[in-house]
Amino acid sequence: MPDNRNEEMRRRPVQIRRKPDVNEEGQQQKKEKKEKKEKVSQRYATPFLVILCVLMAAVTIVLVYMIRNHVEAKKGVKEQLRLSAIAGFDCEYTEAQQLYPFQSGLLKVTNNRVAYLSISGNEVFGVDIEMSSPVCIQSGAYAMVADAEGFVCALFSEEGLVFKSHMTGKIGSFALAPSGLSALIIDEGDSFGCVYMMEKDGTFLAKWSSYESGYPLSLAFAPDESTLSVSLVDTDGSQMIPHVKQFTIPKDRTSARPTEYAFYSPVLFDVMPLLAYMGTDKVMVAGISDVAVIGNGNCNMVDPSFACVSSIFPFDGGCAVIFSDGIDQPLRLSAFNSSGNKCCDIALGNDVHSFSVSGSRALIAVDEQILLIDLPSGRISSTLTVDEPILRVSFFGSKNVCVITNAGVREIAL
């Protein structure tokens, strides 16, 4: 009888066990390690991304805040200057410092060039002139540019260069009359200095050398150009003694020359370099605190004296003094008529940047405002707020103002 059990065993399929492959086992281990690293990286990456998102959100908030403030700050400039400006142009601060309102345009004065620009910034003409420290003054239809540390001076009109001259000595100070007549203080080796006068075309008119009166400091022409006053300081003794010398200027200079006319010595021991005419026959001279009025053979001190005089300037019918009651104190303005009597006293502010005079009116840029003042009455007839730091201001025609700020030029209606 057959063995059924053995037969059944023979019929079962035989299962062959294959020995594991070493390479497959290594790949499996690598795969497991990789997955483990990815899980670890994900675990640390999530907090890092959260922190980064928080930082980016904070930076975004700060930038939005700064941009909003910047836009708000510029709104005032547009409203006060650009939207109300009749004409003008934008420029950098360094260029704005070189611009001077002149006639119906601007003079741009650099170390190597003087150019006349329109109010829109287009160049009308230009002249190449080398200067170390150029200074520009104006009177009437003329402007003079001179090198305060050199020897060159030049006279300009709205049409172009009138003349250019080279002095024999270094230029210290200069003055310009409305007709183009000019006078300069220049160094001279054998004297304390000399006053050199020139006609409108640059031809020599007169020269006076100071041998006994001390050092010439400043100059001023009378409104009618009948006299020239020179402020001097004598240091021969142990004290500084101020003097004022005057010269007559004849109308017909083809046959006559300027001559010495008067000599004044205020009873003071101070330097008095500020000089301004109060009319055709009286001159105001000022130092640090003392102010004197000279003319017609008299020399009268303004009483009381000022604590700290900043500047003086003439106007039709008198002279004005800008002063303060001490260092770092607010500035004030006092106006005096041609008789030497005080007309008004006005509080200005902390910083006077520039001023311009037309007739008996003064345009004064102080702090962030431009004040239009009627000097005989002391009345402030107009106030203009400017949101940009003011460099220069000037009357521009009969009803407009030219304002030069650190960001550009604006012509604005009063």
Chain segment 229-272, per-residue pLDDT in tens: 999 999 877 789 999 999 999 999 988 999 999 999 998 888 99
In the chain, what's the furthest Cα-to-Cα distance?
Answer: 172
User: Residues 85-115: pLDDT tens digits?
Assistant: 788 999 999 999 999 999 999 999 999 999 9
The residue written with tokens 């220069």 in the block is 392
Q: Is the pLDDT of residue 40 over 70?
A: no
Q: What does each C-alpha distance from 274 to 115, 173, 236, 247 come to in angstroms?
A: 30, 12, 21, 18
**What contacts 42, CB < 8 A, 6 or more positions away?**
none
User: Residues 317-348: pLDDT tens digits?
Assistant: 999 999 999 888 999 999 999 888 999 999 99
Is the sign of the CA dihedral 67, 72, 75, 80 positive or negative? Answer: negative
How far is residue 199's CA from residue 233's CA, in Å, rounded to a whole number? Answer: 27
Pair of tokens at residue 129 = 């002139």
User: Residues 51-80: pLDDT tens digits?
Assistant: 777 777 776 776 665 555 544 444 433 334
**What pLDDT is recorded for position 74?**
40
Is the sign of the CA dihedral 22, 26, 29, 35 positive or negative? Answer: negative
What is the mean predicted confidence (pLDDT) over 149-159? 96
The half-sphere exposure of 93 on its side-chain side, counting CA atoms within 13 A, is: 4
pTM of this structure: 0.78
**What pLDDT is recorded for position 31?**
65
What is the mean predicted confidence (pLDDT) over 111-139? 96
* Residue (of 288, 193, 191) closest to 183 by Cα position: 193
**What pLDDT is recorded for position 267?**
87
According to DSSP, the residues that pair with 344 across neighbouring strands are: 335
The half-sphere exposure of 145 on its side-chain side, counting CA atoms within 13 A, is: 30
**What pLDDT is recorded for position 82?**
46
**What pLDDT is recorded for position 87?**
87
Q: Is the pLDDT of residue 414 over 90?
A: no
**Sorting pLDDT into bands at 50, 70 and 90, what band is 397?**
confident
Region(s) of the chain under CATH 2.120.10.30: 100-211
User: Residues 171-203: pLDDT tens digits?
Assistant: 999 999 999 999 999 999 999 999 999 999 999
Mean pLDDT, the chain, rounded, equals 86
* Residue (of 231, 278, 276, 222) closest to 250 by Cα position: 222
Length of the chain: 414
CATH of domain 100-211: 2.120.10.30
Q: How much of the chain exceeds pLDDT 70, in percent? A: 82
